[in-house]
């Protein structure tokens, strides 16, 4: 990973973030390990790593970050857009050919663009948050967490749903609860990606 543009403190900070990615350190812990004069110094250097493209952070959780492997990404990432066709048993929507590649500014993603894919929403089960025709950007994951929105496969059909984990069972919930009741996940249920962004399909 080329680091010629990094301050020595930033290079050391990056190594610490990589080494502790599974159990992120607090700002105070980073301050102590860096022997920095204050936590604001650490926050400044984290901001510089993000600005220079070495780091992507979740704006809603400062301890949720991703180090960009291989150094800064290109300014524009081309994200695969897949159709919402039905999927065969054991198959993945990501196994097929994308119907398009959509250019997105890499800085708009708070995770590596190599882990992103796009789907076009169909139906009205997720209104008002997701409208028919909207483009959703998802991050590839395979293990769901309770209460998050996912692109998933259920009964061989590609869906966008809220996943609920209750007493060891999986349930799929819609934002439009009045018209679409909660349903139990089928035996072929699997997660393809967590929905992270929604782009309006309306002109």
Q: Where are the domains of the chain?
A: 8-67, 76-199
pTM greater than 0.75: no
Quickly name the fold that domain 76-199 has. Umud Fragment, subunit A (2.10.109)
Q: Where residue 155 falls among pLDDT bands split at 50, 70, 90? A: confident
Segment 95-115 shows an average pLDDT of 85
Q: Where residue 84 falls among pLDDT bands split at 50, 70, 90? A: low
Could you give the residue numbers annotated as active site?
125, 161
Q: Contact at 8 Å (CB) between 56 and 68? A: yes
Neighbours of 43 (CB within 10 A): 15
What is the Cα–Cα distance from 147 to 184, expressed in whole angstroms?
14
In 3D space, the residue among 170, 109, 28 whose CA is nearest the CA of residue 162 turns out to be 170
Give pLDDT tens digits for 10-27. Answer: 999 999 998 988 788 889
Q: What CATH number was assigned to the domain covering residues 8-67?
A: 1.10.10.10
pLDDT at 95: 62
């Amino acid at each position: 990973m080329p680091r010629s543009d990094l301050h020595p403190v930033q290079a050391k900070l990056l190594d610490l973030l990589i080494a502790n990615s599974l159990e992120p350190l607090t700002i105070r812990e980073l301050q102590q390990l860096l022997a920095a004069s204050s936590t604001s110094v650490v926050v400044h250097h984290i901001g510089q790593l993000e600005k220079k493209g070495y780091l992507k952070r979740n704006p809603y959780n400062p301890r949720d970050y991703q180090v960009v492997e291989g150094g800064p990404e290109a300014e524009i990432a081309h994200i695969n857009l897949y159709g919402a066709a039905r999927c065969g048993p054991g198959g993945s929507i990501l196994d097929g050919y994308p119907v398009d590649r959509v250019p997105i500014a890499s800085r708009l993603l708070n995770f590596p663009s190599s882990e992103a894919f796009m789907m076009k929403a169909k139906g009205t089960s997720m209104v008002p948050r997701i409208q028919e025709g909207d483009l959703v950007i998802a991050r590839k994951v395979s293990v769901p967490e309770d209460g998050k929105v996912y692109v998933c496969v259920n009964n061989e059909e590609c869906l966008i749903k809220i996943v609920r984990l209750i007493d060891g069972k999986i349930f799929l919930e819609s934002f439009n609860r009045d018209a679409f009741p909660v349903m139990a996940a089928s035996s072929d249920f699997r997660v393809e990606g967590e929905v992270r962004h929604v782009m309006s399909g309306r002109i």
